[in-house]
Amino acid sequence: MSATPLGLPVDQTSHARLAADGLTLARLDPADGAAYEAWIRAENRGFLQPDPTPEVIEHRRGYLGDDRIMGVWDSSLPHPQVPVATTISWIADLTLPGGGAAPTWAISGVTVAPTHRRRGIARALLEAELRTAVELGLPLAMLTVSESTIYGRFGFSPSVLARNLSIDRRRAHWTGPVAPGRVHLVSAEQLRSDGHPIVERVRAATPGQVHYAATSILWDRQLGLPVGDDNAKNLRFARYDDADGTPAGFAIYRFVEDPADFTQHELRLQTLVAATPDAYAGLWRFLLEMDLVATITADLRPVDEPLRWMIADFRAVRSSETDHLWTRILDVKASLEARTYAAPGRIVLRVEDPLDFAAGTWALEVDDAGSATVTATADTPDVDLTVNALSSLHVGGVSARVLEAAGALTGDVARLDAMFRSPVAPYTSIWF
């Protein structure tokens, strides 16, 4: 990487574009408490969240490290210190097929005030984020999105899907393996220490997972630890230890009471992380055999969840699929060389990118070990595709045949699928 996020100046292209409309794009210094308070209130407003208390604001400021906080300000407003648009970004490793990881520009907190819509602010912000990532030498950008109609125009595309589950617990009799370890009820503080190494084991083995530190707000939010988390008092924590006592998985969940019938509670599973098949089986069996529970709901689960195959009634589990992680390739060579491939061979890709970051014709050569070399070439392409399609293919969760049917690529689809498929379905277990 050629620079640090906090060391880069503001993107001048977007700065000039917004200045022509009387707006100012600037980087916020989180050491300026008043400015950060105004920024966080604007971000909460954008996501329709309650206005945060001073205690919540100060606590959240303590999590900031090298996060790059950007905003757009309108000096003509009665309160010009409050930004009319926000973003926050940082560098995080994204696990790719084969277990390698690519440093990736994680973008979050993208909001525009309803008073300033349709003025090109979101475009200026997002294009600035992409140029910043390129300046940092990062091959990819990523985000989890609240609105799925916005980001495709900037080259992002869904690369990791997820399933939302609803389980009729009384029909879901356990028929799966009997795990040899034990499940223990633990505190949030205990799991904060014991659970993060499990998260890291799973992240390293699962494409689509995003690295976050043990001190990150992304971890503490799962545990209900940040100040002002109204959900925290309802959370329960279960840890699975394998037969020799080593923690190997955990579940975080809460109960929702049915006011008409105390035996009809809903168990809402927030997180289940298992580093071994035994931990997976042990935790799910523990949840499915919970008394006074009629329904278990679990959002943001992997698309290849094996639970249905471990219970007596396959139809006790209902599921729906949704997009989750969106990625955007910026450097084709670095992105494609960061992962391994399922089949050896050579394929030439012509990439269309309206923003020009990834445009060009590229030869991907994969050896017998699955390692890749990518070079720019003048050879005739075997496949023509958009940068959106390449971004979806890259993480291994979307097939080339599906993208061909959608009109996003043409050419030698069979060879493309054979090379890019992943034996492990990608999964992103968090929002950011």
Residue 274 CA to its chain's centroid (Å) = 18
Helices H, strands E: what count in the chain?
11, 17
Token duo for residue 228: 């002002």
- Spatial CA neighbour of 136 closest among 246, 6, 10, 2: 2
User: How many Cβ atoms sit within 10 Å of the Cβ of residue 249?
Assistant: 29
What is each CA distance from 170 to 80, 236, 280, in whole angstroms? Answer: 57, 21, 20
Burial class (CB in 10 A: 0-12, 13-18, 19+), 421: middle
Which positions ≥6 away from 383 have C-beta within 8 Å?
347, 348, 349, 350, 400, 409, 410, 411, 412, 413, 416
Measured CA to CA, the distance from residue 77 to residue 91 in angstroms comes to: 33
Which pair of structure tokens corresponds to residue 288? 């499915």
Annotated catalytic residue 262: no
What distance in Å separates the CA atoms of residue 246 and residue 211, rounded to the nearest whole number?
22
* 3-class secondary structure per residue, 59-113: HHHCCCCCCEEEEEEECCCCCCCCCCEEEEEEEEEEECCCCCEEEEEEEEEEEEC
Phi–psi pair at 16, nearest 5 degrees: -65, -40
Say whether 151 is catalytic: yes
17-41 core/surface letters (b: 16 or more CB in 10 A; e: else): bbeeeebbbeebebeeeebbbbbbb
Candidate list 151, 154, 240, 280, residue with the active-site label: 151
Residues 212, 357, 420, 432: which is the catalytic one?
432
**Residues designated catalytic:** 151, 432
